[in-house]
Every structure is written in C-alpha cells, then in structure tokens.
Structure 1
Amino acid sequence: MAKLLLNTLKGKPSDRVPFWFMRQAGRYLPEYREVRATAPSFMDFCYNPDKATEVTLQPIRRYGMDGAILFADILVVPDGLGQKVWFEKGFGPKLTPVNDEKSFSRLSLGGFHNQVGNVYETLRRLKVELPSEVTLLGFAGAPWTVATYMIQGAGSKDHAAARQMGYGNPELFGKLLDMLVDATAEYLIAQIDAGADAVQIFDSWSAAIPEPMFEAWVIEPTRAIVDKIRAKHAETPIIGFPRLAGAMLPTFVDQTCVSAVSLDTGVPLAWARENVQNKVCVQGNMDPHLVVSGGKAMTDEALRILETLKHGSHIFNLGHGFVPETPPEHVALLAETIKTFRR
C-alpha cells in the first residue's frame, strides 16, 4: 500500500493531506502513562524496545496518522557520546556539563552505537509492526539545540552558557559542534538502515542567536548532516525544524537542502506559501494549545491551514508538540477533520 506521507515528502501530489503530530506518543494518552509507569527512568524507557515500540504504535491505533515517529529523546546522542544524562521529576533533563577541555575530552564516538543500539532495535520492530501505509519517521536533535543542553547541564530559557561558549571559546564550541555533526549523522544513517523511511532534525532553540551565528551554528551543521546522510541514503527525505527561525526560514531551506521544513505556530501561512512552500514541502503548524481547547476554534484553524497551503506540498502537523493536558477526544476530532478535507 502506498505511503501517503512519504510520497508527499518526495513531491508527489495527492488529494488528501497527510498528517502526524509532534509528541503524538506522549503523556496526554492514558495508555502511554500506563507503560511509562513501568519504566524505572525516562532513559530506561527510551532504551527499552518493547516499551518504545508500544508507545510509538499507540497513537497510530487510536487515530490512524500517516506517520509514526520513533519514541526516543534528543538527549540520546550526548548519552551515546559518554555524557551522563538523567531526568529529574518536576525538573526535566540533567547532564554533567561539558564546559571545558577536560569535560569535552571525556566524550567519544567510540562506543556510541553500542550505547544507543536499542533505539535501532525499536525501529526494526516498528518496521514490521506498523501498517504498511504508515511512514516510519526517525529523528534527532540538531547540534546547536543538543549543545545547549550539554553545555548548560540542563534546559535553559536563554541558552546563555552555550552562547557564551560560542562567543568566548569558539575553538572548543566548534569542536563540540563538529562532534555532534558526526554523531548525529551516524545516528540518523543507522536509523534509516534500521527501517526509518524519513528523518526529522529538531532545532528547537534556533531562535536564540543572531543572524551570523544562525548561519554558523544552525545552517552549517544541519547542511553537513544532510550531506552525510545523502552520501549513504540519497533518496531518504530529511525534514528540518528550525523552530522560531522566522525570516531565516527561506535561507535555511536554500542552504541546508532539506526535503521539507516544519513551520512553528508563529509563521504566517500566506508568507510561508509564497516564500517557503514554493521551494519545499512544508509541515505544520497548528498551535498545540488549540487542541487543548478543541471545538470549533480548533477545527476552524485546521481548515484555515489546510485551505491556505492546499495548492502546494503540505503535511499537517502542529507548530510544536502536544502538551500533557491535551484531551484525547480533541485529537480524534482534529484527525477526522484532516482526513475528510480534500484539496
């Protein structure tokens, strides 16, 4: 059976818009919470193929999305490089900071694939268990976004530690980004080898830096990853997500050569249609909090997005991920609204 989402990523027209949702496997689903309660830690959860496969499949069973995204976390990559990563309840991720040459020297690609190998096993299982028409999506965090966690040792509102290293110690910062380019490219290539039909690169914090640094810290590393993937898997679509990049989106698309780009909630759709969708497939961009509210406001906005982008290549998605308080029945209504729309 044809994979509608994969065909759309490859530029093939269709009368129905494919859809999937960021964080579609997550805390808003009671069945997810049941499985999560059986794992001793979040990293153990990510590395358990049985549990990760199950929660990836859950939203597909409920809603029939056209894409299933691997359940994992962007911090699998620093964990694979040898940085200690853990999650604290009520706080989020914690890492031993990489903020000088000594801490950087402890990182290595040597044992990377052994450490993260269960992620590939999850993909192999999903390739067998997913319905044949569903596109299997792999993913990774972009080097800049992952570096912000690695340097800070946690999440951050302003990513000051990473920015200050980039400005004040560009040699060390450059070495870290280069290592992340290599690790991320290898990780995504291995995901494709294991069965991923397409991959997405999440640069969640790309808005935190000025234009010259955006090119050096966001565009150039992403392009390097794209080039490495294409050298091994020339036909596999690659989705970029430089969240809150704004007016830099067309430049990002032109210079990274991604196959598609995800639009955050704040991107004006008419502008995106004229300046981005004319270059590549676009994905997005409903406000996830509208799905919390549900009802007519949600369905009206879904139809507005679908109508505005209907003459080009479009995958319906959110502008960011589902929030935990999202009612599952609202997701069902949104899925039905998308499925019944015709161009």
Structure 2
Amino acid sequence: MHLVLNSFGASLRQENGLFSVSTAAGKQTIPPREVKSITVSRGARISSDAVLLAIEHEIDVLFVDKLGKPQGRVWSVKYGSVSDIRRAQLEFFYSPRAVEWVKELVVEKINNQVGMLFSLQVDADEVLRRKLAGAINSMEDYKRKVRSLEGETVPDIAPALRGWEGASSRRYFAAVGLCLPERFRFEGRSQHPATDWFNAMLNYGYGMLYGKVEGALIRAGIDPYVGIYHRDDYNRPALVFDVIERFRIWVDYVVIQLCQQEALNEDCFLQEEGRVWLQGLGKRIVIQSVNDYLAEVISFEGLERSRSEHIQRYAHRLAEHFVQQTKGKS
C-alpha cells in the first residue's frame, strides 16, 4: 500500500506499533508491513514517532507540493553515502562511456514514445493514422541523428542532443493530443503550472515517478544530485531527471488511458487565470491509477517483477555499471 496524505488536516501518528491515519472521514490503523511508501502533501501532518516507525521498516517518507513533485524526503542512515559507487559515478561522468550511455538513454525514450504512437494507431481512422505515421517517421529521423552524434564527453554533444530530443518530444505530444477526446486535447507541454487538463494530470504523475526514481537511486547508493545528461545546477536531483526518461512512458500510458476513458471531469481540476491543477478527486484518481500500474507485475528484460521493482532493479544495475565501467570492465 502507498499511504497518501493529501487532504487538509489529515494526520499520521504511531499507535502501539501501527500507523494511525486520521482524516475528516474517520480513523484507520495500518500495520507497517503493509505500507510501501508515505506521501505527505501540504496541509497534512505526520508525527516524529510515525517517521521513526517508517524508518525502522525502511518505508520512504516523501513530502510533495501541490503538483505532486517531491520537495523533501526522510530515509534511513543505512542509505547514506557509498563512497566507491559515488566516486565511480563522478568518474563515469567525465568518461567517453558516458556519451554512449546518454545517447542510448535518449534513443530508448524515443523508442518508447514511438511505441506509444504505434499503439494509438490501432483504433485510429485513416486520416489520424497518417498523421501518427508522419510523427513516427519524423521521430525515427531524430533518433538516427542522436545515434550519429560524436564527442569525447557529454557536454560536447549535450546541446545538439537536447535540441533533437526536444524536437522529437514536441512531435510526440502533438500526435498524442490528436488521439484524445476534445476536452482533453492540449497545445503542447506545459509545466509549473499546466494550462490544460492533460498536462495537469501528466505533471502530477511525473511528480510521483520522480519520487520513486529518487528513492530507488538512494537505496542503490547513488547520488541523485550528480547528473550525467541533465545539469546538476540549482541543487536539483539531476540524475533523477536522467533515469526517469526510461520510465516516463508508464505515466504517459496511464494518463492517456484516463483521458480516453474520460475518467476525470471539471470537478477534478482547479482552474485559475489559465492555470490548471489537479484537486481532490482528480488527485485520488491519478494517484490510484499510477500506483496500480506501477504495482502490476510485468516481464521486463527477462524478469517477472512489478514495474516499481524494475525501477529499483535498474538503479542497482546502474550502480554496478558505474563501478565496472570505471574499472575498465565491460
């Protein structure tokens, strides 16, 4: 279970070794063994005893803003700095191997998006299929350009890479918008905040995914603030922005499905002066849908695991990759 405190006045305390949740709807006690993570939004409260109980049971405690984006977290000291991994992480950034890693990261992101457009073609009419095919062809061209890039270090190729990645993403989202019901359509990506329903849902889902990826990196002994592709300025977890690119498509799928099913209505959104946020029921629907999807067991890279477990497994493999590559191993 993912315990989410997102209503004003909600509180979480520890009682007799159990989590005690109090909301306007009543009180509930939950054994720690049933809780995988705790998310606390603005206006909710958590006691220090509840935090310590979470730490004891290795449960992530995440504090998020109204967009669902992580602002802080509490974790066990056992996830502290692992010197050999973090030293290798820094060395890897300046190596030629990082160039290939970043290129493959962007290629995989484009492949995922192309796969999504192919799936959307299935129920499309002939006119829409042609438009989707045009977007796919353009994205495949950008992918070829990414693969052709050469440089000694990541900063050598980063400007061109960002340009082509951005252009490919714009084609992707423009195509996705064509596949949605009228009231869920949008004019490109918008963030901080969104300007439409689709982007409000997507931003919140991505915020949830940021927290899960950051937690996975920390548990693997990796420094989430030392990025390889994204710049590690402004004290942001830059490596989270790198790694999340592999998994964004999972949130895309959930949000697209919710839009196509018209699962949310105007009561699910707060709209002010052209700005749009999820609220109340809208947050609950997106949170439940994303968590259910990430909990689903799938076959990925030869293993049957939940999507959340695949994220953690990738983080551990990335830590091993840093160490092996800096030792000159394949």
- TM-score category by the smaller chain? under 0.3
Higher relative contact order (CA 8 A, sep 6+): 1
TM-score by length of 1: 0.23
In our comparison, the structure showing a higher alpha carbon Rg is 2
TM-score by length of 2: 0.23
